[in-house]
Chain A
Amino acid sequence: AQTVTQSQPEMSVQEAETVTLSCTYDTSENNYYLFWYKQPPSRQMILVIRQEAYKQQNATENRFSVNFQKAAKSFSLKISDSQLGDTAMYFCAIRGGSTLGRLYFGRGTQLTVWP
């Protein structure tokens, strides 16, 4: 079984500042993948960043980066230079290597970026 916990239901940040969203997970698999998805008010699910568990290097995508702590089962998302368009619900998700692509999601963190 796989579970994902996001302990921050809501967060806010001022434009141009940096914010970190927390995620912890549990899995019995050795091979797995972690994801952060963004869901703006349009409702569309947008993949922000992906991390393979076997890679030690933290993934980065432009202003988005992760802090992957495998031993602690932690996978936080850092957004630098926050923009108004970053306002959205953010979901952390995990997929095991043997689960036929099934994703398990956390409950989400609503991020609001203020001007």
Chain B
Amino acid sequence: NAGVTQTPKFRVLKTGQSMTLLCAQDMNHEYMYWYRQDPGMGLRLIHYSVGEGTTAKGEVPDGYNVSRLKKQNFLLGLESAAPSQTSVYFCASSTPGREPAYEQYFGPGTRLTVT
């Protein structure tokens, strides 16, 4: 099992450009999440999904869109990148049920720089 993978690992964008970050998991998890990590801020939830075809906003959703067309994939899109979106992005997945219920498994992260 690869667990949770993220593509790409690094990316540099110019202001106004668009891109999509791909998260894939092979654990058949129902729930998937996108977080961003900024220095001194911990991880903050951007969007999440509780199943194929569903998405919901987290704490900091502005400037991002997501899609979950397939259960194993969760895409995070930036339509018009801004320097404030320079961050490290983490994807995670989990599944409801009995213990360890909802334990989240994290991907390796994507470092995005917007110039």
Interface residues of A (CB under 8 A from B): 4, 9, 33, 42-45, 47, 50, 52, 91, 93, 95, 100-108
Residues of chain A contacted by B43 (CB below 8 angstroms): 45, 91, 93, 103, 105
Residue of A43, A100, A101 contacting most chain B CB atoms (<10 Å): A101
**A45 and B106 contact, Cβ closer than 8 Å, known pairs A100-B31, A100-B50, A103-B45:** yes
| B73-115, CB < 8 A from A | 88, 90, 92, 94, 96, 99-100, 102-104, 106, 108-109
* B102 & A107 in contact (Cβ 8 Å cutoff): no
* A50 & B108 in contact (Cβ 8 Å cutoff): no
**A101 and B42 contact, Cβ closer than 8 Å, known pairs A43-B88, A44-B108:** no
Residues of chain A contacted by B108 (CB below 8 angstroms): 42-44
**A107 and B90 contact, Cβ closer than 8 Å, known pairs A45-B106, A101-B104:** no
**A44 and B41 contact, Cβ closer than 8 Å, known pairs A100-B31, A102-B33, A102-B48:** no
Residues of chain A contacted by B42 (CB below 8 angstroms): 4, 91, 105-108
Residue on A nearest B49 in the bound complex, by CB: A100
Residue of A95, A102, A107 contacting most chain B CB atoms (<10 Å): A102
**In the complex, what distance in Å separates the CA atom of A100 from the CA atom of B99?**
14
Residues of chain B contacted by A95 (CB below 8 angstroms): 102
User: A45-B92, A101-B102 provided; 18 other pairs, C-beta below 8 A?
Assistant: A9-B40, A33-B102, A44-B106, A45-B90, A50-B100, A91-B43, A93-B43, A95-B102, A100-B50, A101-B31, A101-B33, A102-B33, A102-B45, A103-B43, A103-B104, A105-B44, A106-B42, A107-B40
